[in-house]
Amino acid sequence: MEIYCKEAYAGLFHIIDDGDFVDSLVTDMVAQGETVTEVDIANLRTMYKVDRPFMIQYTDWLGGIVTGDWGTSFYYNQSVLVKIGETLGATLMISLITLIITYLIAIPIAIYSAKHQYSIGDYAFTFIGFIGMAVPHFLLAILLMYLSYKWTGKPVMGLFPEGGITSWATFLDFLKRLIIPTIVISMSGTCGLIRSVRAQLLDEQEKPYILCTRAKGVSEKTITYKYEMRAVINPIVSGLGGMISGIFNGSTITAIVLMLPTQGPILLKALQSQDVYLSGGILLISATLVVIGTLISDLLLAVLDPRIKFLEESK
């Protein structure tokens, strides 16, 4: 029986397929100095059920999704649903808070910038917007952590205090820990939304019906919130689905830097180890959020935009 050593491992690629968990596992085993035989590889592939054709594996996975069995994580040797459930609550909480903060900050700033075009405030917010979109999340997280340490004298790591939230003091500590993740994760989306809404408002306020309404003596506040924002609300709401998914998946590096208990680091580890069941489960949740967000945005558009109507096809 032939024994493969680290130097001869390149020859194993004719035995095992690229891109499965056994490939990564055997690579790690050989790198640690262990010996691996052809029989060992075959047994591992049988044990992890990766020796079957791809379509059969995919069909079995879909069947398990329908019945509630999302499989077992190869890397963590734990139920996928249990592993996802450990961090899903914190991930959804941070995503929801970030989404709310993004809209609460971006829309008022965009309205101010559009109504005070080329003012000092407009230039300042535009500059901040460029910086916010250009600076990487992880770099901003490190900078804010450093400033927090200089001001408070202690590092802010993780999301939940040691021992959990058991008192008012620990709850306040939890809120303090939310500040940096919320700022970092929402920065890019907020700056992008500011630029988008500002540009649409500037385009809208030069249209003839707005100029006519202004000439009739209608107050600027009424023009802004009753007429201009009604036209701008469509692209704002229609991007809700993509924004939800982006926030849900876009905080991986930030979560690693800040040691946040979210889905990002788990997904990264699952992809690195080619843990298809775990990574597939997390990506399925992300895709579901896109569908739900798109549905919510469509329903909101039907309510907010009177130009959108649901028409029944006459028989």
Domain membership flag for residue 62: no
Whether 35 and 163 map to the same domain: the answer is no
Distances from the Cα of 263 to the Cα of 72, 251, 260, angstroms = 17, 9, 9
Return the pLDDT at 311: 54
Structural tokens at position 149: 């340490």
In a shared domain, residues 261 and 205: yes
Exposure on the CB side of residue 223, measured as CA atoms within 13 A:
21
The answer to which of 1-5, 80-84, 260-264 has the lowest mean pLDDT is: 1-5
pLDDT digits (tens, 9 = 90+) for 212-228: 888 888 888 888 888 88
**What pLDDT was estimated at residue 8?**
38
Half-sphere exposure of 55 (CA within 13 A, CB side): 0
Residue 21 confidence (pLDDT): 83
Shared-domain flag, residues 8 and 103: no
- Both structure tokens of 142: 């490190």
30 lies in the same domain as 123: no
Q: Would you say residue 70 lies in a domain?
A: no
pLDDT-derived band at 17 (thresholds 50, 70, 90) equals very low
Domain of residue 4, residue span:
1-51
Write the pLDDT tens digit of every residue in 96-135: 888 888 889 999 999 999 988 889 999 999 898 888 888 8
Are 155 and 260 in a shared domain? Answer: yes
Residue 188 lies in a domain: yes
Looking at residue 120, its pLDDT comes to 93
Which pLDDT score is estimated for 315?
Answer: 45
CATH of the domain at 214: 1.10.3720.10
Per-residue pLDDT band for 82 (boundaries 50, 70, 90) equals: very high
Please state the pTM of the whole predicted model.
0.76
Are residues 83 and 45 part of one domain?
A: no
User: 167 with 278, same domain?
Assistant: yes
Which residues, at least 6 apart from 125, have a Cβ–Cβ distance to it below 8 Å? Answer: 109, 112, 113, 194
Note whether 215 and 284 are same-domain residues. yes
